[in-house]
Amino acid sequence: MLTLDQLYVNYGAINALKSISCTVKQGEIVALIGANGAGKTTILNAISGIVPTLSGTVTFLDETITAIPPHEIVKRGISQVPEGRRVFANMSVLENLEMGAYIRNDKSAILAEIDQVFARFPRLLERKKQLAKTLSGGEQQMLAMGRALMSRPKLLLLDEPSMGLAPMLVAQIFSIIQEINASGTTIMLVEQNANMALSIAHRAYVLETGTVVLQGDAKELAANPEVRKAYLGE
Amino acid sequence: MGDFLQQLIGYINPYYLQIFVNIGIGIILALGLNVVTGLTGQLSLGHAAFMSIGAFTSAVLTIKLGMPFSINLLLTGFITAAVAALIGLPILRLTGDYLAICTLGFAEIVKVVFLNLDITNRALGLSVPSANTEIPMPVVVWIVVLLTIVCVTCIHNSRFGRALMAVRGDEIAAEAMGINVTRYKVQSFALGAFIAGVGGGLYAHFMGYINPSDFGFLKSVDILSMVVLGGLGSITGSVIGATILSAAPEFLRFMANYRMLVYGGLLVCMMIFRPNGLMGGTSFTEIVLRALGRKPRLKAIMEQKNSELSRSGNGDT
């Protein structure tokens, strides 16, 4: 479904990504794990077009999307939940969801989609008239995910969904991610919390300073002594 | 019709008429800047430059071509918008302070250009012949004010307006929603300039004389103060802000030498006690509906939706 082929990204003189190649297959949850500055977020930003690439290609559903601007990529069916949630603080929950459906025109389908999001996140329904800035961190994460689902993406890019959340909420968010995946959305997940990420992912890539150092089945990676030592705190 | 209105206007004290028209032009300019700074969140310190482009374009159109005033104003608006789009493409990639300084620089360039062009009569300024219309200028100004209010209100409530608000809220998130941020920023900049250009055209023909120095940095700050005083992003706020700040120097005249002091003090107090502006965080419709004891429409719709959802079994209680 998604293929990155020898992707290079520079920030000024710094090589953020060095020859990254990876694939995401239809229906998978793929996790990207690694330390700070490994290039996890940069990969997501390069896919969604926010960061320009130096060389290499991103192919999505047999189309090269490397040079396509971000707003066009959303229309192709890739939706990103940016790091730090970035909800529209001064809009209500409902308005945030409506913004998520900005590229769609079918009113009744959008309303149905809103109902679906509310069914998935009952907490948002309770808060739907509130301004997004008055929500708690976990609720904002739910809103950001709900908003991204409003464009009915084929591929959902999640950037650090566990950031700044209490362990119980993290577990809740991750089970919701599995539900979203079960209902047919392919997911690419960037996480610091490698334990959680590997527990729900099918496959994973381990990144170090802009290169893929390990890859494979998530269960196997979670059992790999090197990974356990470096990322799982053993 | 024109004669009748002219006669009617004749009964009004010219001094008050002048204030009245100044308020109208102030409202137009504030509404234009409100689209750029209030709705889209792009701080511009050069709004007066677009007013001056409009003023000179409109004046030259009248002098050289003598076309009907309505067409003149429309053409002026489009020319000003085109200039804004041209300038906006490169500079709207900047944000915040950097953008503000760029617009400031642009405004200075416009001023210097007009001070040196033969067609604008250099530093002597331009005498503007009366507008080619039967309707007296004060009436024209207020027709344009009403038209502007209607247009801007429609924009606020449109899909386009929503996108602009999203850009103000968070550019990266807006982009992630599929909004072409640069395009919308340029469009809003051009729209604000269109309105400012029309305002400038009206100013030129009402005053009968324009000079590039009339549209300097202070004018830009004046307009920005109106928008901020009223509350960024609020149409009603911009109207109120423009009315107060256009009229204040006049009704404070009885204080003679102290009036600018009071004017400044007024602004300082406002920002301390209502930092979001007079109408910040509230809307005119909401106030009216509340006064009438009715619920705002949106709220009613939401409540209806709410009850539908709880009936279908997944709602809140």
Alpha carbon B117 to its chain's center: 27
| pLDDT score of B313 | 46
**Residue carrying structure tokens 């990207």:** A32
Mean pLDDT of A52-81: 91
- Nearest CA to B58 out of B210, B180, B280 is that of B210
Chain B positions with Cβ closer than 8 Å to A: 159, 162-163, 165-166, 169-170, 172-181, 299, 302, 309, 312, 314-316
Q: What element of type H or E holds B235? A: helix B235-251
pLDDT digits 0-9 by tens, B135-181: 899 999 999 999 999 999 999 999 999 999 999 999 989 988 889 99
Instruction: Determine which of B177, B232, B283 to mutate to test the interface with A (most A C-beta atoms within 10 Å).
Output: B177
- Whether B314 shows a pLDDT value over 60: the answer reads no
Query: Are the beta carbons of B115 and B123 closer than 8 angstroms?
Result: yes
| pLDDT score of B5 | 84
Report the residue from B170, B175, B299 with minimal CB separation from A88. B170
- Within 8 A by CB and 6+ apart from B248, the residues are B263, B266
Closest Cα in chain B, distance from residue A114 (Å): 11
| pLDDT score of B317 | 36
pLDDT digits 0-9 by tens, B58-107: 999 999 998 899 999 999 999 999 999 999 999 998 888 999 999 999 99
Closest Cα in chain A, distance from residue B276 (Å): 13
| pLDDT score of B112 | 95
Query: Are the beta carbons of B149 and B225 closer than 8 angstroms?
Result: no
Return the structure tokens found at B113. 């250009």
Cβ–Cβ of B178/A74 closer than 8 Å? yes
- Whether B316 shows a pLDDT value over 60: the answer reads no
pLDDT digits 0-9 by tens, B250-278: 888 887 788 778 888 888 888 888 888 88
Query: Are the beta carbons of A48 and A73 closer than 8 angstroms?
Result: yes
- Nearest CA to A222 out of A201, A171, A174 is that of A201
Cβ–Cβ of A88/B315 closer than 8 Å? no
Mean pLDDT of A169-173: 90
| pLDDT score of A234 | 65
Cβ–Cβ of A88/B169 closer than 8 Å? yes
Mean pLDDT of A193-209: 91
Closest Cα in chain B, distance from residue A45 (Å): 10
- Whether A16 shows a pLDDT value over 60: the answer reads yes
Residues of A in contact with B177 (CB under 8 A): 74, 99-100, 102-103, 147, 151
Q: What element of type H or E holds A191? A: strand A186-191
- Whether B295 shows a pLDDT value over 60: the answer reads no
Q: Which of A215-219, B48-52, B214-218 is the most confident on average?
A: B48-52
Mean pLDDT of A213-221: 90
**Residue carrying structure tokens 């067609």:** B119
